[in-house]
Each structure stands twice: as C-alpha cells, then as structure tokens.
C-alpha cells in the first residue's frame, strides 16, 4: 500500500484536474453496502486523509462538513479508491450509527423499481 503525504498537492491535484468537485461513493466495510453519495473538493479530501474520518463539501451550504460531527454517526475511513479516470472516489468506511440524515443506515433505502424476473 502506498504511503501518502497529505501535504503533497500534486497527489491530491491529480484527482481534481477535470472538476473542482468529485463524487464520493461511501461504502460500508465488511458488508459492501453503499451508504451514501457526497462530494469532495481538494480541501475535504486533504482533511479526510489527515484525520482518517470523512469530510465532504456541501454544495447547498458551500462549506466543508465532517460526516457525523454533530450526530456522532462518524465514518472511519478504511480505504479510498479512485476510478479508472480519477474523477470519482470510492470511500470504504466503518460506519458508526446511521449514514443517512433520516436515521436510515443507508441513504439508498427508497427502492423505485425492481425487475421481478431477475
């Protein structure tokens, strides 16, 4: 596993060459359940790497937020993966409590369609 210098701007910048915000898919370690989708900018990625807990950029509030800082439902980062184009992140976490602001474990609890023949 590569040791990352979180102060290495070149490493972090490689993910932000195309866009200022990257989608970050958050997946639960052990179950592989997709918990949520959020967005990271350079600073939230740096804070995530520095602290070992997820930090995201809120598009509506236009500010950084530490997932679970107020609720206690923290996400301890196990690993971070970049996709083949380095423009989407997969963040694998150990979830404490609910990931969704509704209190649901995952934000993806609202099934909208299912193929009954599958």
Residue 86 sits at φ, ψ, to 5 deg, of: 55, 35
- pLDDT tens sequence across 98-117: 999 999 999 999 999 999 99
Classify strands 63-66 and 22-28 as parallel, antiparallel or unpaired.
unpaired
Cβ contact 95:106 at 8 Å: no
Per-residue model confidence (pLDDT) at position 92: 99
Element (H, E) at 39: strand 34-40
Q: What is the pTM of this model?
A: 0.90
On the question of pLDDT at 7 being above 80, the answer is no
User: What DSSP designation does 11 have?
Assistant: H
Task: Give phi and psi for 34, each to the nearest 5.
Answer: -75, 120
Predicted confidence at residue 6, as pLDDT, reads 62
Q: Which CATH class is domain 16-95?
A: alpha beta
pLDDT-derived band at 10, boundaries 50, 70, 90? confident
pLDDT tens digits, residue range 51-80? 999 999 999 999 999 999 999 999 999 999
Q: Give pLDDT tens digits for 13-37.
A: 888 888 999 999 999 999 999 999 9
């Amino acid at each position: 596993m590569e040791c990352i210098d979180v102060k290495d701007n070149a490493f972090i910048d490689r993910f932000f060459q195309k866009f200022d915000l990257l989608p970050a898919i958050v997946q639960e370690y052990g179950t592989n359940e997709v918990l949520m989708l959020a967005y990271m900018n350079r600073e939230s990625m740096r804070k995530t790497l520095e602290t070992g807990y997820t930090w995201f950029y809120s598009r509506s509030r236009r500010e950084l937020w530490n997932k679970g800082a107020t609720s206690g439902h923290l996400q301890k980062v196990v690993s971070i993966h970049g996709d083949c184009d380095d423009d989407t992140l997969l963040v694998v976490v150990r979830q404490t409590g609910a990931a969704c602001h509704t209190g649901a474990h995952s934000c993806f609890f609202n099934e909208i369609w299912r193929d009954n023949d599958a």
